[in-house]
Amino acid sequence: MTDHARTVRGFTGVYHADGGIRGELAYVVGKLLGRTRCGLCDVTHGPVRRKQQWDDLVARLGVSFHLVHLDERDSAVRDVSQGATPCVIAHTDAGPILVLDPGEVDAAKGDVETFAELLRHALTQHALDLPAPTA
């Protein structure tokens, strides 16, 4: 029997940047000047657009993976991620759980498959499971 409180219902990845035109522009300029960095941005996006490898990973997970900017977080995500971005939060019936902190996200060094391995390891460490695939 599965413990539903330990089953991941979805993920939220929080970028270390604000959204909108002003936020995106500030991030790009900061990145070009070497003043701003977001390890999750590096995992999900290439120089111009979102990585196909990222979309493939999300499809394999079997649950939703929402990506939000700092100014787009709801209160539950804000509470868990405050001062710890970029990060990944797993949503369970017991509530949101921070599963990848900024250092762990940065450890992927922009590589989607490395990120996937780090996420799998984090789920094991937190005794979390993804739902069983449906036939």
Mean pLDDT of 94-106: 97
Give residue-wise pLDDT tens across range 58-69.
999 999 999 999
The CATH number of residue 70's host domain is: 3.40.30
Mean pLDDT of 68-78: 95
CB-CB contact of 5 with 91 (8 Å): no
pLDDT higher at 2 or 69: 69
CB-CB contact of 91 with 10 (8 Å): yes
> Does residue 65 belong to any structural domain of this protein?
yes
> Does residue 115 belong to any structural domain of this protein?
yes
> Does residue 130 belong to any structural domain of this protein?
no
Mean pLDDT of the chain: 88
Count the Cβ atoms, other than its own, within 10 Å of residue 60: 10
CB-CB contact of 34 with 102 (8 Å): no
Range of the domain at 25: 4-125
85 band by pLDDT with thresholds 50, 70 and 90 = very high
C-alpha–C-alpha distance, residues 90 and 49, integer Å: 25
> In this predicted structure, what is the pLDDT of residue 132?
81
Look at the chain and report how many structural domains it folds into. 1
CB-CB contact of 86 with 15 (8 Å): yes
120 band by pLDDT with thresholds 50, 70 and 90 = very high
Look at residue 96 and tell me whether its pLDDT is greater than 90. yes
Highest mean predicted confidence (pLDDT) among 28-37, 47-56, 108-117:
108-117
